[in-house]
Structure 1
Amino acid sequence: MSVIHKDVIIAGGGLAGLTLARQLKQTKPELDILVVERNQFPVPEKTAKVGESTVEIGSRYLTYTLGLREHFSERHLRKHGLRCFFGTPQSDFAQQDELGVSELFGIPTYQIDRGAIENYLHTSVSADGVEVLDGVTTKHLDVSGELKQLTVTNGAREQRFSSRWLIDAAGRQALIKNQLGLQQDSGHKGNALWFRIDKQVKLDDWSSDADWRARIKQAGTRWLSTNHLMGPGYWIWVIPLDNGATSFGMVMDDQALAAGDFSCFEATFAWLQQHHPQCAASIEGARILDYVVINDYSHGCQQMFSDLGWGVTGESGVFADPFYSPGSDFIAFNNTFISELVGDSFSGHDIRLKSRVFESMNQSFFASTLSLYNGEYGGFGDRRMMSLKLVWDYAYYWGVLSLLFFRNAVTDVTLMRSLNPNLREAQALNERVQGEFRQRAKQRIVLPAQGLFMNQFEVPCLKQFSRVLEDDSLDVSHSLANNVALLQRLAAHTIDMLGANPSQQISDDECAVLGDYRRSVLA
């Protein structure tokens, strides 16, 4: 059987693989690229895959780096932030405590339909000259030699390919990871279930209270948030899709999972009727499109990139947790590193140093992301902890990780070395604050609901981090130093408010960093 040669083979034609193909074509248009995918295009919308929300890095990558802004404005909903609700459910949903924004910060994020974007990317990269071979199963791959080998089958038909570069974007099949024994326990344990219904659920309809509705500057848009119903050891998402469907999911630590029966939709629905009746009422009577359960979803990977001509991207490599929706962020970082390595190698450059630096940065990013979850799920129903946690996590994410990506710093090895002292300081601050969150999370506190609104849009430090991120003209070194100094101040106030006896007097600095947010947090 003849072997067909390609420059680059991407195993997996989902979001990670197709965006990588597009980015590689932008980097080096002359590359002969093959994408192999087990599903057939077009994939179904509404139920193609879970993962319908993006945050700032992923949104920047998709709309700006890949140039998909027009597609997103036409086919995907603008996300109205992340919103959390706390407390034992009351007869009126407005009586629960609410954490979110009254209006949007400047950087757009989206609720995306994975089927819609993958179909669009398939058409787009095919038009750019990428060969997409769909409806095939990977029978064999080998990344040990100078030329990588891949064999796929479609029924009785078998095809063999070779390439200088082979990238695994095949999701949890983890083709390269399994072949090379790169599996790694992340240390974080979590379980998830999700389902879609063929009905548009608007959370704004869950209460008719005029004051509650008036909290949001743009009336009737609460449903466009990634809405979360919070409890000790778990959270439930309610995410709208552009096609009129709604995605629901529940994510739990082992203790919360053991406390209920979630083996089928009917059992989960009965649990929702007891614990979140407004949510259950919004689902009742709708057609259930799918139901999926996955246990122990988090996983790491010992190595993601090699100067020997292979790489791993998306869930084939690492997955931390769905809270904050970081999946597209990992795709953005992984694909950007891989594109740089592939482009340099075909230009004749020595990529040994870059591959090691990129590997170290990627592992550091993953570790920082894991720290947001590991040991903290017990506090997810704790309104005080989470109102502080979300401000801190946003601040660290916008002030450090997003800044590096937005300024294209992550592929500049010399620049990253110069930033290292401030990056180490930021990492140490994050480790300290997350440690305080973990200590409080052990108590699994649920505070009585008071109908409070913790409005993150009024937090001065978040506005400052967002302004810096939006202004591409600002120098990254100067901006990072200023951001880390602000993080130091925020860390001190966060730790104080987490304590059993927080300071009674609000200092001038605390007012400058948090404004009136402190009063609602400590109410």
Structure 2
Amino acid sequence: MNNQYDVVILGGGLAGLTLALQLKQEEPQIRIAVLEMRKKEAPNSAHKVGESTVELGTYYLREVLGLKDYLDEYQLPKIGLRFYFSPQIKEQIDQRVELGAKGTLPVPSHQIDRGIFENELTKRLLNMRVDVILGARIKAVDLNEIEGHTVTYSKEGQNYEVTGRWVSDATGRVGLLKRKLGFEKPLEHNINAVWFRVKGEVDVNDWSNNEQWANKLPKGLRRLGTIHFMGTGYWVWLIPLVSGNTSVGIVADPRFHDFSEFNKLDKAMEWLQKNEPLCAQKLESYREDVIDFRILKHYSHHSGRFYSTEKWGVVGEAGAFLDPFYSPGTDFISIGNTWMSDLILRDYRGEDVASRSIIYERVHAAFFDSWVPIYNQQYELFGNTQVMVSKVLWDWGVYWGIPTLLFTNKGYINLEVLRALFTSRNSLGTRLGKLNSQLQQFFRQWAVCSNEPYINFFIDFFDIPFLKKMHLDLEIQHSVEGLIAQCKENLEILEQMAAEIYRRVLAEQKGTPQNMKINPYKASLELSKEELLAQAEEKGAIDTAAYIAKDLEMMWLKEKLAV
């Protein structure tokens, strides 16, 4: 085994293994060591969370890493995220408002058994002559850009040293470099989670005797989605695994659900009986077949650093992690690995990457910060059906319209694109962040004013034409000029979408005209009717777009629970 490397990766989980694969595929001669504390193969249904991927992370795995054929053959397809609202009728799944796809999606995603997947990645790397060293417990990291970084690790009682031109920390929540160098950064978002696996398939399509409801979708389709059962302050997930097992999770805001109420298996089952009784009932038969149980308190964390001009960086959860609600974990790994590998490879080929390191770090931090409002203080909305339908559709539009489109078109490593979209005070990225933050705040205001018990409704985002187009556009490859233009067009659509949501709610709650001009960056339910009318006359207020209004008409719920 060598002890001189171009790159030493600390940690052989999903982030570290995929980074090594990305580097080796791009540059077959690069010398890589991956130091992983695990001593042997990961078990099937591994004791990890993060099985569900969405479009950005899936593109990375399938197209960037070339794992398309493997994923299609050995992992499960995913039929999107599927939400069940209407917490007033938790025991009648066929009457809950359901938001999800009616068929297979053209832009794919997957449900991944992490143990099986990480073992496959390890095997591939070994075949590519990457030194994946299992049972390696890291003892020290001495950073020295001039002479090479030195990493000391122990294995089977012996100490070893390796040096690398680059060091990438992929140690997950251990955050080795973050702790060593002291760049931890607090994050206000405070949510707790538990999760466990059960042996066997759990299919919510069997949870009702209503044949009309069960037959609304093709058999097996509902099971392949990432299921979200929603209620105030919490959501519960069901995720199928290719091993034939099912992942179950509870994620809850301690302001509404104290962690001590569900932080052990028996307590978690009692909590489900209280908060999702039908789910608890259906899982009871699997009680003796629980494979594992894990807890994670206050899982969100930030990072003060990502990429250093001194040739080190952090990827995956060794950097920052926000929330699992929209399955973004693989997305953040994908973007971080893309920046990290671009720096390493450019340096390997002789380019000075100091300025890129600074730019990528700033954009990464801004990108993460722009996503915080989507989750922070939003769990209080999870029991409000109409607000959450609107929020989920909005969040999907934002996700597809710009960040995912940028990734599928290599925009994050194109300095021309980054300068055009993120560097000026009124840049597209800045405007999107402000627009999203304003609307997330509006959702909270709206939830205080109205929480009608809507029931018996199904909505598929593909029924909303402009959202469908954003999703399909992810498969289009643009020129640099075309990518910038498409992002600008999508931001204008999102401004119109936000304005239409404001317009509808303000008319109901404040009595303003339904065709009133709206400034989507300033509208608020805290303003009076007179202030809103005055705002409509100011610069920045926009007229209604007829096609957006028409498209969004189908997201407004109609049938209410009879009281």
TM-score by length of 2: 0.88
Is 2:455 aligned against 1:450?
Answer: yes
Q: CA offsets per residue over residues 150-197 of structure 1, 9 Å max, x none?
A: 111123211111111111001111010001101001221111111110
Partner of 1:460: 465
Secondary structure class of the residue paired with 1:386: helix
Distance 1:504 1:458 in 2: 27
Aligned 8 A contact 1:191 1:257 in 2:
no
CA shift in 2, pair 1:184/1:73, >3 Å: same
Secondary structure class of the residue paired with 1:229: strand
Q: CA offsets per residue over residues 490-522 of structure 1, 9 Å max, x none?
A: 010122344471679697344344242235599
CA shift in 2, pair 1:375/1:521, >3 Å: farther
Aligned 8 A contact 1:184 1:302 in 2:
yes
Is 2:253 aligned against 1:253?
Answer: yes
Distance 2:428 2:260 in 1: 45
Q: CA offsets per residue over residues 87-112 of structure 1, 9 Å max, x none?
A: 22354321222122223442101111
Secondary structure class of the residue paired with 1:291: strand
CA shift in 2, pair 1:267/1:164, >3 Å: same
Partner of 1:489: 496
1:489 corresponds to which letter in structure 2? Q
Partner of 1:64: 63
Secondary structure class of the residue paired with 2:336: helix
Aligned 8 A contact 2:503 2:514 in 1:
no
1:72 corresponds to which letter in structure 2? L
Cα offset, 1:446, TM superposition = 5.5
Q: CA offsets per residue over residues 355-380 of structure 1, 9 Å max, x none?
A: 11101111122112222101111001
Partner of 2:78: 79
Cα offset, 1:136, TM superposition = 1.7
Secondary structure class of the residue paired with 2:43: coil
Q: CA offsets per residue over residues 117-137 of structure 1, 9 Å max, x none?
A: 100000001111100100121
CA shift in 2, pair 1:77/1:481, >3 Å: same
Aligned 8 A contact 1:314 1:331 in 2:
yes
Distance 2:559 2:352 in 1: 53
2:389 corresponds to which letter in structure 1? S
1:448 corresponds to which letter in structure 2? P
Distance 2:378 2:550 in 1: 28
Mean Cα displacement is larger for which, 39-48 or 339-348? 39-48
Partner of 2:303: 301
Q: CA offsets per residue over residues 273-307 of structure 1, 9 Å max, x none?
A: 23222211222132111111111110000011012
TM-score by length of 1: 0.95
CA shift in 2, pair 1:521/1:418, >3 Å: farther
1:263 corresponds to which letter in structure 2? N
Aligned 8 A contact 1:105 1:466 in 2:
no
Cα offset, 1:486, TM superposition = 0.6
Is 2:210 aligned against 1:213?
Answer: no
1:518 corresponds to which letter in structure 2? W
Secondary structure class of the residue paired with 1:257: coil
Partner of 1:22: 21
Distance 1:369 1:309 in 2: 27
CA shift in 2, pair 1:204/1:51, >3 Å: same
Distance 2:187 2:71 in 1: 33
Partner of 1:426: 432
Aligned length, in residue pairs:
520
Partner of 2:329: 327
Aligned 8 A contact 1:379 1:445 in 2:
no
Aligned 8 A contact 2:135 2:156 in 1:
no
Q: CA offsets per residue over residues 50-79 of structure 1, 9 Å max, x none?
A: 111001110000010000001100111111
Cα offset, 1:209, TM superposition = 1.1
CA shift in 2, pair 1:275/1:522, >3 Å: closer
Partner of 1:182: 183
CA shift in 2, pair 1:447/1:259, >3 Å: farther
Q: CA offsets per residue over residues 8-55 of structure 1, 9 Å max, x none?
A: 100000100000000111222111100010003321011331111001
% identity of equivalent residues: 35
Secondary structure class of the residue paired with 1:387: helix
Distance 1:3 1:106 in 2: 45
Cα offset, 1:215, TM superposition = 3.1
Cα offset, 1:144, TM superposition = 4.3
Distance 1:102 1:42 in 2: 37
Partner of 2:549: 511
Distance 1:35 1:493 in 2: 50
CA shift in 2, pair 1:375/1:522, >3 Å: farther
Q: Which runs of 5+ in 2 are unaligned?
A: 516-543
Distance 1:256 1:497 in 2: 29
Cα offset, 1:265, TM superposition = 0.6
Cα offset, 1:465, TM superposition = 0.7
Aligned 8 A contact 2:411 2:418 in 1:
yes
Partner of 2:413: 411
RMSD, aligned CA: 2.2
CA shift in 2, pair 1:5/1:499, >3 Å: same
Pairwise mapping of residues 34-433 of structure 1 onto structure 2 (< 5 A)? 34-86=33-85, 87-146=87-146, 147-216=148-217, 218-258=218-258, 261-286=261-286, 287-420=289-422, 421-433=427-439
Aligned 8 A contact 2:226 2:239 in 1:
yes
Whose relative contact order is higher, 1 or 2, with alpha carbons under 8 Å and at least 6 apart? 1
Cα offset, 1:270, TM superposition = 1.4
Distance 1:522 1:213 in 2: 21
CA shift in 2, pair 1:275/1:70, >3 Å: same
Mean Cα displacement is larger for which, 476-485 or 98-107? 98-107
